[in-house]
A and B are shown apart, each in its own frame.
Chain A
Amino acid sequence: MTRRGSLRAMLQLAVFAIVMFVFVSPASAIPAFARKYSLRCTACHESWPVLNDFGRNFRDNGYQLRLGKDDTVTAEPGYWPVAVHVLPAYQYTKVTNQPTDQGTKTIGSGGVTDASIDLLMAGVLTPNISFLVVPTGFASDGNVHLESYWAYFSRVIQNSDWFNIRAGQFEIDLPASSHRNLELTDSYLLYSYHPSVPGGANIAGYDMGENQRGVEIVGHDRDSQARYTLTVFSAHDSQGSAHGLNSPSFYGHLQKYFRFSDGPVSQAEVGLWGAVANYPTQFLTSGGTPIPGSGSRLQSSTRYGMEANVWLGPLVAPLHLDLVYGHGSDKKELFQSTADRAGTFNGGFLEAIWVPPTNLLHWSVFGRYDMIRNQNQPLVATPSNYNDQDQWTLGMKYTIAYSIRDEVAFHAEISSRKAKGVGDAGLDQRTDNILFGVDFVY
């Protein structure tokens, strides 16, 4: 099948699936906060799980509405701070130019995914001390791990919103959340990309979008229209250094929102962000194997950039555009003596979420374009565009039903990523995905 024919088949399948799911009967089910506060998912989410202004303020306030019903004593007796999230889905993935014994091949395969479960446990222990614990897994491999676990102390100093502390394992406050995005078949390239040497390794491999262990200071104004976060963490993939933190890392984020009471733009936001993760590059060894926790000679992997968000139309049903740009640099020493110089790149993404102004706001349409452009390859001899990447994603979500106790939605998505020169024999490699799923939380 030609590429055009394949795309046509995918689109036909997508249209068929959309038609099928639009006409299924509504279902119902208890996300912890919705049940606790008797609010529907839409109160906090522009389109679940993307937060809107009210949801962002609720999160910044430590999941408290401060109505005298937040903590476990004053909340209604029936409240139990647990919700379950599952996503049964069909996914087809095709990757081009893969090396095989039979030569360079394109391999495509699909099936119903081995779905896992997120147990979302969150709430308020006592006024101004809240928590989140998320065990995830329970798939066929039987593994379960803690995706998140943290405690959040609100208004630590002089009852001010400008000083709150989070401690544990959590997602750092990125310009767009990797855990709260709509796309399911790809990730933000800007967060995960690291320059590389062909066939070699980069010690720094952390994905900023993965949850990190550390301490975060959060400050915001009354309505979360101005925010900052400062985070000290240990990058999640470090082998460990002989320091107080295995991989001492720092992150900062500054945001300011602007609102307009009339006109086509209802809200805009600008922000700056930056991260420095320091990795040990030399280790004591035992039988030639590095001894974990013995690392020294820290070298940095640096990311920084800016962001701009615009909400067009009413905030209740907006076209939300999010533009994020970043520059990255990984020190030469991180490439284990194989590099000539530091690897640097520029990258970013433009994301759009549209909530059509339809009755009960059942629909959302989303898309994203990601791009990575290498600036300096660690090896001078490497082609300058080696592993340059382009990725686009298109999708839609139809919320079949939602209430104060559940949400069930149909999710359809296609995505494609092209990476220069990383396929067999230095060919470009393309990864295409298509996914149809039923996303439900109760």
Chain B
Amino acid sequence: MFHRVRQLIPVFAAVLFAAGSATAAGTGDVKTGKLVYQRYCLSCHGAEGNGQGEAAEYMSVKPRDYRQGTYKWRSTPSGSLPLDSDLEHTLLNGLHGTYMPTWRALDERSRRDVIAYIKTFSPRFATEKPQDPIVIPPDPGYSDASVTRGAAVYKKYNCAQCHGPGGQGDGPSAHELKDDWGNPIVPYDLTKGHVKCGDKSTDIYRVFMTGLAGTPMPTFADSMSSTDAWDLAHFIQSLSPGYAKNMMTTAADRTTRGAQ
């Protein structure tokens, strides 16, 4: 028998080689994606993709309702559908402070398949195409001067109305906010150590320019200069000692939020 086991080793190696030689990237398979969704996503987002899974009622931050095709984290302008890479960004990084974990441990094929399936919940994906991603100019760099200017921008755009004067999510309007589905929503506490959509300065900059669709967080693309946006991003990073050191890292460098 053990002679046979030894004979199987080259067969096993050949299978690996054959499989490895066919690694061309393809599009996601909706049918398999449904199974991935059922295995990992259904308990929160629901069988109908309406964000009303069995766990939803116990959550303070409600799971996303996929049916409208509106997504908080996008690289595309306000009102646009997200790119597949945007959805994968959320799968890879999770949303810190919520129940959405990082699904980095899933294989690329599963992520691709579930993205294809999630898109079937909204008819928009069948009739619209995502707009091009916004252009993010180079980060001029984190500095004390930029942080000081950012504090002024924070004041100028009245961020404290929701996020509070210290960024703790305790502004005067904090308890009156609701999302597009009528659920109470709390402004993010920016001093927690991690920003929900990414700690990198480009992640924070992007939020100002795209807004967080479905929430009261608007886009400032038409009113905020890129200089102001960078300063504000640096100010937000400064609210927690962890941000500055994360500033120059890339998303690919991080296992999860909290990994640094």
Residues of A within 8 A of B (CB): 37-40, 42-43, 53-54, 56-58, 65-69, 76, 78, 159, 161, 222-224, 258-268, 308, 310, 314-317, 323, 325, 346, 348, 357, 359-361, 371, 373, 403-404
How far is A229 from B58 in the complex, measured between Cα atoms in Å?
38
Contact in complex: A262, B258 (CB < 8 Å):
no
Contact in complex: A361, B59 (CB < 8 Å):
no
Residue of B nearest to A78 (CB): B58
Quick one: given A39-B40, A39-B43, A361-B35, are A68 and B96 in contact (CB under 8 Å)?
A: yes
Contact in complex: A403, B32 (CB < 8 Å):
no
B 85-114 contacts with A by CB, 8 A: 94-110, 112-113
How far is A2 from B248 in the complex, measured between Cα atoms in Å?
75
**Which of these, A42, A159, A263, contacts B40 with CB under 8 Å?**
A42
B 123-156 contacts with A by CB, 8 A: none
Residue of A nearest to B18 (CB): A263
How far is A199 from B236 in the complex, measured between Cα atoms in Å?
75
B 211-260 contacts with A by CB, 8 A: 255-260
Chain B nearest Cβ from A224, distance in angstroms: 7
Chain B nearest Cβ from A75, distance in angstroms: 11
Contact in complex: A68, B113 (CB < 8 Å):
no
Quick one: given A67-B96, A316-B39, A346-B2, are A224 and B59 in contact (CB under 8 Å)?
A: no
Contact with A along B8-34 (1 / 0, CB 8 A): 100010011011111111100100100
Contact in complex: A259, B107 (CB < 8 Å):
yes
Residue of A nearest to B12 (CB): A308
Contact in complex: A371, B12 (CB < 8 Å):
no
Contact in complex: A267, B43 (CB < 8 Å):
no
How far is A325 from B5 in the complex, measured between Cα atoms in Å?
8
Contact with A along B32-74 (1 / 0, CB 8 A): 1001101110111000000000110011000000000000000
**Which of these, A67, A264, A359, contacts B257 with CB under 8 Å?**
A67
Residue of A nearest to B19 (CB): A265
Residue of B nearest to A258 (CB): B16
Contact in complex: A40, B107 (CB < 8 Å):
no
Contact in complex: B16, A42 (CB < 8 Å):
no
Contact in complex: B259, A265 (CB < 8 Å):
no
Contact in complex: A38, B110 (CB < 8 Å):
no
Majority secondary structure of chain B interface residues (helix, strand, loop or mixed)? loop
Contact in complex: B23, A268 (CB < 8 Å):
no
Contact in complex: B38, A261 (CB < 8 Å):
no
Residue of A nearest to B108 (CB): A261
How far is A348 from B104 in the complex, measured between Cα atoms in Å?
33
Contact in complex: A38, B58 (CB < 8 Å):
yes
Contact in complex: B1, A373 (CB < 8 Å):
yes
Residues on A with C-beta less than 8 A from B206 are: none
Contact in complex: A54, B40 (CB < 8 Å):
yes
* 3 nearest A-B residue pairs (beta carbon): A38-B55, A265-B19, A263-B22
| 28 A-B pairs whose Cβ atoms sit less than 8 Å apart in the complex | A39-B40, A40-B39, A67-B95, A67-B97, A67-B100, A68-B258, A69-B97, A159-B260, A222-B104, A261-B25, A261-B107, A261-B108, A263-B18, A263-B22, A265-B15, A266-B107, A308-B12, A314-B29, A314-B109, A314-B113, A316-B32, A316-B35, A316-B39, A323-B8, A325-B5, A357-B35, A361-B38, A373-B1
Chain B nearest Cβ from A317, distance in angstroms: 5
Residues on A with C-beta less than 8 A from B257 are: 66-68
How far is A224 from B106 in the complex, measured between Cα atoms in Å?
11
Contact in complex: B38, A310 (CB < 8 Å):
no
Contact in complex: A404, B43 (CB < 8 Å):
yes
Contact in complex: B104, A264 (CB < 8 Å):
no
**Which of these, B96, B107, B258, contacts A267 with CB under 8 Å?**
B107
Q: Report the interface size for chain B: residues with CB under 8 A from the other chain.
A: 58
- Indicate whether B194 reaches chain A with its CB closer than 8 angstroms: yes
Question: With contacts A39-B40, A314-B32, A314-B36 known, what are 17 further pairs, Cβ within 8 A?
Answer: A53-B107, A56-B105, A67-B96, A67-B98, A67-B257, A69-B97, A222-B255, A260-B20, A261-B26, A264-B19, A265-B15, A265-B18, A265-B19, A314-B29, A316-B32, A359-B38, A403-B43
Contact in complex: B19, A68 (CB < 8 Å):
no
Residues on A with C-beta less than 8 A from B21 are: 263
How far is A403 from B57 in the complex, measured between Cα atoms in Å?
14
Residue of A nearest to B2 (CB): A346
Residues on B with C-beta less than 8 A from A317 are: 32, 35
Contact with A along B162-196 (1 / 0, CB 8 A): 00000000000000000000000000000011100
Residues on B with C-beta less than 8 A from A308 are: 12
How far is A357 from B36 in the complex, measured between Cα atoms in Å?
10
Chain B nearest Cβ from A232, distance in angstroms: 28
Contact in complex: A40, B42 (CB < 8 Å):
yes
How far is A268 from B11 in the complex, measured between Cα atoms in Å?
13
Quick one: given A315-B106, A348-B5, A371-B1, are A262 and B26 in contact (CB under 8 Å)?
A: yes
Quick one: given A67-B257, A68-B194, A316-B110, are A325 and B24 in contact (CB under 8 Å)?
A: no
How far is A373 from B1 in the complex, measured between Cα atoms in Å?
9
Contact in complex: B106, A53 (CB < 8 Å):
yes
Contact in complex: B38, A68 (CB < 8 Å):
no
How far is A56 from B106 in the complex, measured between Cα atoms in Å?
11
Contact in complex: B23, A262 (CB < 8 Å):
yes
Residues on A with C-beta less than 8 A from B1 are: 371, 373
How far is A310 from B15 in the complex, measured between Cα atoms in Å?
9
Chain A nearest Cβ from B191, distance in angstroms: 12
How far is A224 from B110 in the complex, measured between Cα atoms in Å?
17
How far is A442 from B5 in the complex, measured between Cα atoms in Å?
41
Residues on B with C-beta less than 8 A from A222 are: 104, 255, 259
**Which of these, A68, A78, A357, contacts B32 with CB under 8 Å?**
A357
Contact in complex: A259, B108 (CB < 8 Å):
yes
**Which of these, A43, A56, A65, A315, contacts B107 with CB under 8 Å?**
A315
**Which of these, A38, A56, A360, A403, contacts B44 with CB under 8 Å?**
A38
Contact in complex: B104, A40 (CB < 8 Å):
no
Residues on B with C-beta less than 8 A from A56 are: 105
